[in-house]
Chains A and B, each alone.
Chain A
């Protein structure tokens, strides 16, 4: 009888100093199936994939291809076995065309000259067969994220890979592009490719995968058929307890206006147009206002303008009745703005500083932590310990852990703790749950709602439809730098919001 499995990883154990990253994990990928690999951050998904690609050698366990044991010592061995991967962060040369990127490393040549016509034929054939629409002559820097991803997929197909791994492929896509990707994955599976789909988005797993293997804290929890399970059951497997998906919050009547923005315009760093055009809005005490929209529609620049990271072209910002349009970043922060930044590695943390030094990043200059120019290390330590304890920030060595070595979820928790504990008037939270697992998301949503209940004004900027619908009291949709619609999350539908986000609909001026 023919072996039904394309690739098998049997009883894999991989240890690192002080931690068992993979503890007796078995993953069997059937030919022609879409198999999801589900787990929280730090559950061991990345380690398992690194073992499959020969980046790590497991202490125990074997890998079989078509039933035969194979040894994978380095990524070249994995490629030779027909294993390909689309990474979460694409590995493309920005200034090359789609075609050049696909053939890169496998260029067909004749007497040392490139034979692009041949390659083009193969690529066009592949893209038609699987419904992967790309423009072979467009440069990567000019095409959408969706097309970049399709380029990555074509790269694998061009190399005749049989086993395709998608590492969190939907994180960067719009809802429409996600649907498209799902269809592509189904096409690929129907053509006999075996797909491993790494994700922690349960709805997507339920929609596209045939089976799902769940890892938790380095351990193998089980493999289930998606048709026999539910989102709730999967998340309980992943987290080890029941998770609330819906954020509980009571209706509240908003209080005074805390933040008032009038006709704000911010220039773009990328092009000559303005990224934010004439935006006016208000946020009141005790309400969560959400700026929704597809990535790249001016949300980032809007927040930069509000936080003082970019100057305004025009407009006026008032916080608690005080004009802060021209105020410095420090004075905005001291007068009551807390900011959970979009990019925790770029803005949120000094990665090579310790956790305690990062926890006082916005307060180190206060008399509690600085006296006569000298840091008061004892106070910093005890304050950090208090926050670590209170917000359950987990790390290897407590306050002296280097931030770089912490998991993404705990890095984010540290930032959230730092910003919320400053007791702000206005909390700006930009994509506060990006890349986090459900446990951490639930926790951060609870903290944000608690701030609102404590009478703070909260401005949430999010790309996640569920987050927008669940957490906010009022939704403002941003499209090409303008607020194109205001929705009430209690009455609005996802479809309606999608139309605003895509620019197909806008409120009457």
Chain B
């Protein structure tokens, strides 16, 4: 029994899961402490409101409707986290997921509102826009040895302002937001395929949600079962050996960044082609979606299937932040708590390492004692 438990603890998957849970717990505790410091009276209510999210509603049909809202935003987050983890497996840190997401949003909305294209054309445009942006970072990395983190960060801003000016002609005359998708071009809204029925006719729940999960599985298959995955991971782990074995390591780096960019771009399509949100052409900060993708990738243990759950959790907490009592806390508090938790999500690998080194030490001590 003891032995069985010990070997279970040594399983890397279990270790990742445990450390992810530990991060979540720690994030909640620290968030709670912060709430206590600001206003002790409402702290418990606020933290439970965040964790409960859609359960804050008593009636099942409302619960389902708001669960739907969380899922609508989970799909793009999952795409961004897949974008980050895919690049990470090939040894690249794609902090540019945020910018590739912006590029995807710009392309999707421009094709939908200005060119009046159907949704699937807009979606492909978004994927391509993200991929092109990823390609630029990849090419700079492989041909000029420019660190991908630097080029990605700069491209994030370039993408933001380019998209702002690109979408300016299709904005609402009276507000900074782009025109409503449903009124201008209903063809561009992703089909629901009856999914909305499951979520009390939440019309934003579309094909995007199952598609995101399918893509997570595809990424897992690509990384672990295919020749391309074998080459890409080899390049990431040891580019010298990859070159020695005749793999085209430069092409592989560009291809990886293109795929990663395409994933983030698709994420933007999944967000803006539901009509759930419009793009504000006056925004001066890169949307957080891409950055949250980094946290979701790590919280999910850098595994595509893990990313499905971690993306849901992070979106759940972020949405839950909206239920905090605003009379007791400033409106920024929900963002503060969820960012606290997201921040701690980055510590998963650290906890996992700590756990396995502790186990190894205990093994040694026990072995020594026995003999």
Contact between B246 and A351, CB atoms less than 8 A apart: no
Taking a contact as CB atoms closer than 8 A, the residue among B225, B241, B364 that contacts A16 in the complex is B364
A347 at the A/B interface (Cβ < 8 Å)?
A: yes
Question: Closest residue of chain A to B363, judged by CB?
Answer: A17
A373 with B228, Cβ < 8 A, contacts A15-B367, A347-B240, A352-B237 known: yes
Contact between B230 and A364, CB atoms less than 8 A apart: yes
B58 at the A/B interface (Cβ < 8 Å)?
A: no
Interface centre among B240, B241, B242, B247 (most CB of A within 10 A): B241
Question: Closest residue of chain B to A358, judged by CB?
Answer: B241
B371 at the A/B interface (Cβ < 8 Å)?
A: yes
A333 at the A/B interface (Cβ < 8 Å)?
A: yes
Q: Mark A370-381, 1 if CB is under 8 A from B, else 0.
A: 100111010000
A330 at the A/B interface (Cβ < 8 Å)?
A: yes
Chain A proximity of B2: nearest CB distance (Å)? 16
Q: Mark B220-232, 1 if CB is under 8 A from A, else 0.
A: 0000011110110
A261 at the A/B interface (Cβ < 8 Å)?
A: no
Contact between A59 and B244, CB atoms less than 8 A apart: no
Contact between A374 and B371, CB atoms less than 8 A apart: no
A35 at the A/B interface (Cβ < 8 Å)?
A: no
Q: Mark A276-299, 1 if CB is under 8 A from B, else 0.
A: 000000000000000000000000
B243 at the A/B interface (Cβ < 8 Å)?
A: yes
In the complex, chain B residues whose CB is within 8 Å of the CB of A339: 244
Contact between A309 and B243, CB atoms less than 8 A apart: yes
Contact between A374 and B225, CB atoms less than 8 A apart: yes
In the complex, chain A residues whose CB is within 8 Å of the CB of B364: 15-17
In the complex, chain A residues whose CB is within 8 Å of the CB of B360: 17
B238 at the A/B interface (Cβ < 8 Å)?
A: yes
In the complex, chain A residues whose CB is within 8 Å of the CB of B67: none
Alpha-carbon gap, A304 to B254, bound state (A): 24
Contact between A373 and B246, CB atoms less than 8 A apart: no
B173 at the A/B interface (Cβ < 8 Å)?
A: no
In the complex, chain B residues whose CB is within 8 Å of the CB of A263: none
Contact between B244 and A341, CB atoms less than 8 A apart: yes
A162 at the A/B interface (Cβ < 8 Å)?
A: no
Contact between B368 and A348, CB atoms less than 8 A apart: no
Chain A proximity of B216: nearest CB distance (Å)? 18
B167 at the A/B interface (Cβ < 8 Å)?
A: no
Question: Closest residue of chain B to A377, judged by CB?
Answer: B225
Question: Closest residue of chain A to B245, judged by CB?
Answer: A361
Contact between A375 and B237, CB atoms less than 8 A apart: no
In the complex, chain B residues whose CB is within 8 Å of the CB of A374: 225-227
In the complex, chain B residues whose CB is within 8 Å of the CB of A59: 368, 371
Give the contacts of A9-66 with B (CB-CB under 8 A): 15-17, 59
Taking a contact as CB atoms closer than 8 A, the residue among A17, A330, A346 that contacts B240 in the complex is A346
**CB within 8 Å: A-B pair count:** 75
Alpha-carbon gap, A375 to B230, bound state (A): 8
Chain A proximity of B227: nearest CB distance (Å)? 5
In the complex, chain A residues whose CB is within 8 Å of the CB of B260: none
Question: Closest residue of chain A to B244, judged by CB?
Answer: A347
Question: Closest residue of chain B to A15, judged by CB?
Answer: B367
Taking a contact as CB atoms closer than 8 A, the residue among B227, B228, B234, B368 that contacts A350 in the complex is B234
Contact between A373 and B241, CB atoms less than 8 A apart: no
Alpha-carbon gap, A279 to B238, bound state (A): 31
Report whether over half of chain B's contact residues are helix, strand or loop; otherwise say mixed: helix
Chain B proximity of A357: nearest CB distance (Å)? 7
Give the contacts of A168-215 with B (CB-CB under 8 A): none
Question: Closest residue of chain B to A56, judged by CB?
Answer: B364
Contact between B228 and A349, CB atoms less than 8 A apart: no
Contact between B237 and A351, CB atoms less than 8 A apart: yes
Contact between B225 and A375, CB atoms less than 8 A apart: yes
In the complex, chain B residues whose CB is within 8 Å of the CB of A353: 233-234, 237
Tally of contact residues, A, Cβ under 8 A: 33
Contact between A348 and B226, CB atoms less than 8 A apart: no
A329 at the A/B interface (Cβ < 8 Å)?
A: yes
Contact between A17 and B246, CB atoms less than 8 A apart: no
A328 at the A/B interface (Cβ < 8 Å)?
A: yes
Chain B proximity of A335: nearest CB distance (Å)? 11
In the complex, chain A residues whose CB is within 8 Å of the CB of B363: 17
Chain B proximity of A506: nearest CB distance (Å)? 33
Contact between A365 and B371, CB atoms less than 8 A apart: no
Chain A proximity of B248: nearest CB distance (Å)? 8
Contact between A350 and B226, CB atoms less than 8 A apart: no
Taking a contact as CB atoms closer than 8 A, the residue among A17, A351, A373 that contacts B367 in the complex is A17
In the complex, chain B residues whose CB is within 8 Å of the CB of A361: 234, 241, 245
Chain B proximity of A61: nearest CB distance (Å)? 12
Chain B proximity of A370: nearest CB distance (Å)? 5
Alpha-carbon gap, A16 to B364, bound state (A): 6
Q: Mark A308-332, 1 if CB is under 8 A from B, else 0.
A: 0100000000000000000011111
Give the contacts of B51-65 with A (CB-CB under 8 A): none
Contact between A329 and B234, CB atoms less than 8 A apart: no
Contact between A373 and B226, CB atoms less than 8 A apart: yes
Chain B proximity of A420: nearest CB distance (Å)? 16
Interface centre among A15, A328, A361, A377 (most CB of B within 10 A): A361
A348 with B371, Cβ < 8 A, contacts A16-B364, A364-B227 known: no
A330 with B246, Cβ < 8 A, contacts A15-B371, A374-B225 known: yes
Contact between A350 and B367, CB atoms less than 8 A apart: no
In the complex, chain A residues whose CB is within 8 Å of the CB of B226: 373-375
Alpha-carbon gap, A48 to B246, bound state (A): 41
Alpha-carbon gap, A377 to B237, bound state (A): 20
Question: Closest residue of chain A to B368, judged by CB?
Answer: A59
Alpha-carbon gap, A15 to B233, bound state (A): 34
Taking a contact as CB atoms closer than 8 A, the residue among B227, B244, B368 that contacts A375 in the complex is B227
Chain A proximity of B135: nearest CB distance (Å)? 21
Alpha-carbon gap, A364 to B234, bound state (A): 12
Contact between A350 and B237, CB atoms less than 8 A apart: yes
Alpha-carbon gap, A332 to B371, bound state (A): 55
Question: Closest residue of chain A to B238, judged by CB?
Answer: A350
Contact between B230 and A329, CB atoms less than 8 A apart: no
Taking a contact as CB atoms closer than 8 A, the residue among A16, A309, A351, A370 that contacts B244 in the complex is A309
A362 at the A/B interface (Cβ < 8 Å)?
A: yes
Alpha-carbon gap, A285 to B225, bound state (A): 40
In the complex, chain A residues whose CB is within 8 Å of the CB of B225: 374-375, 377
A373 with B244, Cβ < 8 A, contacts A350-B238, A351-B238, A361-B234 known: no
Give the contacts of B121-140 with A (CB-CB under 8 A): none
Alpha-carbon gap, A373 to B228, bound state (A): 7
Alpha-carbon gap, A17 to B365, bound state (A): 10
Give the contacts of B318-371 with A (CB-CB under 8 A): 360, 363-364, 367-368, 371
Alpha-carbon gap, A352 to B12, bound state (A): 15
Alpha-carbon gap, A26 to B247, bound state (A): 50
Q: List 22 A-B contacts (CB under 8 A).
A: A16-B364, A16-B367, A17-B360, A17-B367, A307-B244, A328-B246, A334-B246, A339-B244, A341-B244, A346-B241, A348-B241, A349-B241, A350-B234, A350-B238, A357-B234, A361-B234, A364-B227, A364-B231, A365-B227, A373-B226, A373-B228, A374-B225
16 more A-B residue pairs beyond the given contacts A16-B367, A331-B246, with a C-beta to C-beta distance below 8 A:
A15-B368, A59-B368, A307-B244, A309-B244, A329-B244, A341-B244, A347-B240, A347-B243, A348-B244, A349-B238, A349-B241, A350-B234, A351-B238, A352-B238, A353-B234, A373-B228
Closest 9 CB pairs of A and B: A330-B246, A347-B244, A329-B246, A370-B227, A59-B368, A350-B238, A361-B245, A346-B240, A352-B237
